[in-house]
Amino acid sequence: MWLNLSAPFVRRPVASTLIAVALAVFGLLAFRALPVSSLPDVDFPTIAVTAVFPGADPQTIASSVALPLEHQFSAIAGITEMTSTSYTGSVRIVLQFELSRDIDGAARDVQAAISAARAQLPDEMKTNPSYRKVNPAEAPVMVLALTSDTASSAAMYDKATTLLQQTLLQTEGVGDVMVGGGSLPAVRVELDPKQLQQQGISLEQIRVALAKTNANGAKGNLDVLDRSYTLTANDNIANAADYAPLVIRSDDGAITRLRDVADVYNGNENVHNFGLINGRNAVAIIISKQPGANVVATVDRIRQSLPQLNAMLPAQMRLSVALDRTQTIRASLFDVELTLLVAILLVVGVTWLFFRDWRATLLPAIAVPLSLLGTFAIMWSLGYSLNILSLMALTIATGFVVDDAIVVVENIMRHLALGKSRIEAILDGTREVGFTVFSISISLVAVFIPLLLMSGLAGRLLREFAVTLSVAILVSMLVSLTITPTLSRIFLKSPTHSHQVSCPRWYATSLQQSLQHPRLMMLLTVSAFLGSVVLLAVIPKGFFPQQDTGLLFGRVQAPQNISFTDMQQRFTQVIDTLKQDPALENVFGFIGGNGVNANNTGVIYATLTPLNQPRRESATSIVARLQHQFAAQAGLKLQLQAIQDIAVGGLQTAGQYQYTLSADSMVALDKWAPQVEAALKDIPLLNGVNSDKQDQSLTLKIDIDRQAAARLGVRISDIDQTLYDAFGQRQVSTIYQPMNQYHVVMALKPQYWQEPSALDNIYVTATNTSTLVPLSAIAHFAVIPSAISLSHKGLFPSVTLSFNLQPGVAIGAAINAIEQKISTLQLPDTIIAGFSGTAKASAATVSSMPILMLAAIVAVYIVLGMLYENLYHPLTILSTLPSAGLGALLALFVCGFEFSIIALIGIILLIGIVKKNAIMLIDFALTLEREQQLSPIQSIYQACLTRFRPIMMTTLAALFGALPLVFGHGYGAELRHPLGVSIIGGLLLSQLLTLYSTPAIYLYISRLQNKLQR
């Protein structure tokens, strides 16, 4: 078989060379066309729905807006998680779908559900709920800052929403554009309730009069003789100066105008918005990508549009980039590409050290880039990207792809040294090791079968890595069995000196001694297995290494009943303090943000100075230092976290990990959520424990005396409408303009809504007499605690507790500690508690790690058994694994790395790497037994001596291929280090032991097989 595969290529060197050139050319073209990203696409299809109802409290929002929408959404197929958070005036509902769900199809279903729920929503809602194909838990890919020395925040916000937001939303890959730090311009009518009472004018009269000031209806056409005229009118007034003289009432010649009872001016639609960048007023344009979109390509498109966007703005406004997620992605990928180049040079260097012949070294040196270029072509056809994991796979592959070429070239040179002709040596040498190369490659690919079959986040994350590495191995096998023999005909020459394979005398002597004591070798193998089991039990378990992306996200939380003015002052102080830190390059944040945050919460984003230029601190260390710095500030809590590439779940919480409680009523959560929060705070492994249950704000409850109201002719609905007119920032009229729609906002003067006594000045119209009735005559007022936000999970009230980990703590240990602590509380069955988001994915991944390793071993055994048509020899080959596992786990433990997904990849790779040595020994020994009728001990002894050099070459090639991963630095190094450490640790120990243990176990298996066959 192998002769037939190699012979046509060897006999037609020109055609074979042109095939190699074509493979290289297509690979180069594919490399240039491959998209660039941080990690493989692991985005869950997620849609965020937002609804705005200005002035409504969280309870009203939850019951009248969130609940009807949630009932409609719950009928959509494929939803895995539905969460909502209701704030004052708005609600955000996040729908997360199965990984296999098409995001566009899901969006159509969501739109249909919104339309179905519209009839059940309040009539006072001026705008329909909107949705975006975006995950709020993910960090933005870019943030733009709009600043000006002269323009107001309202003017900047207007340009940001009218021009910039709409243009950016049309950019391919953009999922959402949120504008924070301001609100639209509006005509503000701020009424004096005392003047209204003196004039006998109700708030309802003002609202009705303002509502009639603007219209935008059709007026028809006028045909006069030979001409046609389109009718228009000044039915829209846009400036406050035109509203001030509006006549509210005319009574016996006495005219009351709007300016007599109100301050009318051009201002902001929502005064509870504020934004800063580096201490300067700014409007932030926060851009998120669609699930599945390529982050680098999306940011490139946005950058290309920036000159056009700036040209659209007035001269006094400037648009600049405050955050670019791809800066660190590009830096990280550059480091990995450099690591790949260094690995190739090291591998070629190892080959030369053994061959000491530039011609022989050149053949593997050609095979490596040719195999990698062929892999690029397959990656492009599969729609993969150049990311950290795929490039790490290619870095590791350099050690694999050179192995096949080394085995082929080394055996050809051995046959040349026997005096054969070049063609004869190439054909015989390739045929002799052809099955070995095939066995090594197929069994190595078999290791990744469990990874390819994995579902969920971990499966999606590892699949591209496994496929890339498998493709590289298979391409390498084909190159080594076709192109390499052909090039050997061109480059290799018969040696002028003896080229017989030799091995050190010390190994031959020590091998003889070890074969005389096989029980000792067996004991070492069993001890290695037991040591691996013990280490696997005690080593900290993790999910994904904590990344330093150069970006921080944070929340500033103040007391729940804080006023906006006080919150604005405290928030400004936090921004100013952070800006002075030398590790932070840009600091920007906002309060408000379209109503997706509570009133006592400010959002902060910060970009760090470049790593190692001159920053030496990791992002995790900076977070710990800054939080300790702010811990002493009373009445203020700063919670920071380093932004990660992987965001699971749809909630953007103060901590990186979440634990959620849900129940059928808030009563149960009110009792148990504080106890669970206190329990988590008692766990020393955690820090920054925070609850989204904010129910200690202050509410001024108006207790209506229904009998008194009925007696005086006051309707309950009129009381609600009057209060909304006074304190709801009510949008009472729409101003239609060519580029946008603006509003006339009605409210009392600020001094009348900044203290509870303002209610004494509120009057309600009696329906039977049209007289004004003081609200205090029909109601009593009391201050009570209340919630400023309400959360639901799957239709039920919920509380989410977020937390971070102490430095050096693995998420696996934290999960175990939390589960043990929660079990002591004995939560009732009515409480559904469990991890969510990243913590949930971590728990699932940690629990599946042993199963994955076992599945990989079983897959290799099955493939080897099929290849050798033998049930026993695969056991000999797999006996190399305990020493490799022990070495890898020991290296991780000593170096302080947790057993994460990346370390798991290293262990699984070792299953494939170390068995290659055993395959080369077993395959050669079986050949000697079959063809030369040698005894098992003679055949395995001769195999060890003959294959010593290729075994050392391939092992050192794999080791040096992994070496750059360990010593690399810069962005993404935290992902590369555990992979390199596990591979190198496993290779060193397994190489030391298996050169002796494999021959001993081969003898045991041979004896067992003979006994069973008798």
pLDDT tens sequence across 332-364: 888 888 888 888 888 888 878 777 777 888 888
Do 721 and 623 share a structural domain? Answer: no
Do 362 and 483 share a structural domain? Answer: yes
**C-beta separation of 64 from 118 below 8 A:** no
Element (H, E) at 84: strand 79-87
Which region among 58-72, 415-429, 517-531 has the lowest average model confidence (pLDDT)?
A: 415-429
List, in sequence order, every beta strand (DSSP E) within 150-279: 174-180, 185-191, 221-224, 227-230, 247-251, 254-257, 262-268, 274-277
Residue 944 tokens read as 């060890």
Distance in angstroms (rounded) separating the CA atoms of residues 875 and 1005: 8
Q: DSSP characters for 367-409?
A: HHHHHHHHHHHHHHHTT--B-HHHHHHHHHHHHHHHHHHHHHH
Distance in angstroms (rounded) separating the CA atoms of residues 466 and 472: 10
Work out the pLDDT band at 1, boundaries 50, 70, 90.
very low
Radius of gyration, alpha carbons of the chain: 36
Do 913 and 781 share a structural domain? Answer: no
752 to 190, 436, 620, 746, 755: CA distances (angstroms): 10, 87, 46, 13, 7
Calculate mean pLDDT across residues 128-146.
Answer: 85
Residue 299 lies in a domain: no
Q: Which of 69, 57, 88 has its CA nearest to residue 131?
A: 69
pLDDT at 594: 53
Query: Domain holding 729: CATH number?
Result: 3.30.2090.10
Which residues, at least 6 apart from 718, have a Cβ–Cβ distance to it below 8 Å? 204, 764, 765, 767
Do 688 and 625 share a structural domain? Answer: yes
Residue 561 lies in a domain: yes
DSSP for residue 993: H
Do 1012 and 959 share a structural domain? Answer: yes
Do 948 and 894 share a structural domain? Answer: yes
**pLDDT tens digits, one per residue of 698-726:** 788 899 999 999 999 999 999 999 999 99
Of 893 and 396, the structure prediction assigns the larger pLDDT to: 893
Element (H, E) at 997: helix 973-1013
Do 474 and 352 share a structural domain? Answer: yes
Residue 309 lies in a domain: no
3-state secondary structure of 762: coil
Residue 971 tokens read as 């962005």
Do 687 and 648 share a structural domain? Answer: yes
List, in sequence order, every beta strand (DSSP E) within 592-691: 601-608, 637-642, 657-662, 686-691
Query: Domain holding 679: CATH number?
Result: 3.30.70.1430
Q: Which of 650, 622, 657, 691 has its CA nearest to residue 542?
A: 657
**Residue at a domain's end among 493, 524, 559:** 493
Do 559 and 412 share a structural domain? Answer: no
In terms of Cβ atoms closer than 10 Å to its own Cβ (0-12, 13-18, 19+), residue 739 is exposed
Residue 47 lies in a domain: no
**pLDDT tens digits, one per residue of 811-828:** 888 999 999 999 999 899
Residue 676 lies in a domain: yes
Do 441 and 351 share a structural domain? Answer: yes
Residue 608 tokens read as 């760090």
Q: What share of the chain is helix, strand, coil (3-state, %, to 5)?
A: 55, 20, 25
In terms of Cβ atoms closer than 10 Å to its own Cβ (0-12, 13-18, 19+), residue 244 is middle
Share of the chain above pLDDT 90, in %: 23
Distance in angstroms (rounded) separating the CA atoms of residues 606 and 589: 8
3-state secondary structure of 703: strand
Do 976 and 898 share a structural domain? Answer: yes
**C-beta separation of 914 from 982 below 8 A:** no
pLDDT at 501: 44
List phi, psi (to 5°) of 137.
Answer: -75, -20
**C-beta separation of 553 from 604 below 8 A:** yes
Calculate mean pLDDT across residues 170-189.
Answer: 90
pLDDT at 496 > cutoff 60: no
**pLDDT tens digits, one per residue of 407-444:** 888 888 888 878 788 888 888 888 888 887 888 888 88
Q: What is the dihedral of CA 640, 641, 642, 646, to 10 degrees?
A: -150
**C-beta separation of 83 from 798 below 8 A:** yes
**C-beta separation of 78 from 44 below 8 A:** no
Strands 280-281, 551-557: pairing is: unpaired
pLDDT at 222: 87
Residue range of the domain that includes 1009: 504-538+870-1014
Work out the pLDDT band at 276, boundaries 50, 70, 90.
confident
pLDDT at 76: 92
pLDDT at 2 > cutoff 60: no
**pLDDT tens digits, one per residue of 990-1001:** 888 888 888 888
pLDDT at 325: 86
pLDDT at 598: 67
pLDDT at 373 > cutoff 70: yes
pLDDT at 597: 63
Average pLDDT score, the chain: 85
List, in sequence order, every beta strand (DSSP E) within 753-818: 763-765, 772-774, 779-786, 790-793, 796-805
Work out the pLDDT band at 394, boundaries 50, 70, 90.
confident
Q: Which of 1009, 998, 988, 1012 has its CA nearest to residue 923?
A: 998
pLDDT at 740 > cutoff 60: yes
Distance in angstroms (rounded) separating the CA atoms of residues 107 and 128: 16
**C-beta separation of 188 from 152 below 8 A:** no
Total domains in the chain come to 4
Which region among 66-70, 81-85, 204-208, 1003-1007 has the lowest average model confidence (pLDDT)?
A: 1003-1007
Distance in angstroms (rounded) separating the CA atoms of residues 320 and 829: 53
Do 928 and 882 share a structural domain? Answer: yes
Query: Domain holding 412: CATH number?
Result: 1.20.1640.10
Strands 741-748, 185-191: pairing is: parallel
Residue 143 lies in a domain: no
Distance in angstroms (rounded) separating the CA atoms of residues 368 and 347: 9
Residue 346 tokens read as 């090291």
Residue 715 lies in a domain: yes
Peptide bond just before 291 cis, omega within 30 deg:
no
Work out the pLDDT band at 4, boundaries 50, 70, 90.
low
pLDDT at 589 > cutoff 50: yes
Distance in angstroms (rounded) separating the CA atoms of residues 695 and 788: 6
Residue 376 lies in a domain: yes
pLDDT at 3: 43
Residue 963 tokens read as 């070496």
Calculate mean pLDDT across residues 27-41.
Answer: 86
Calculate mean pLDDT across residues 671-681.
Answer: 92
1 to 5, 108, 865: CA distances (angstroms): 6, 55, 19
pLDDT at 703: 92
Which region among 146-150, 596-600, 998-1002 has the lowest average model confidence (pLDDT)?
A: 596-600
Calculate mean pLDDT across residues 907-919.
Answer: 81
**C-beta separation of 599 from 788 below 8 A:** yes
pLDDT at 650: 64
Which residues, at least 6 apart from 226, have a Cβ–Cβ distance to it below 8 Å? none
**C-beta separation of 211 from 203 below 8 A:** no
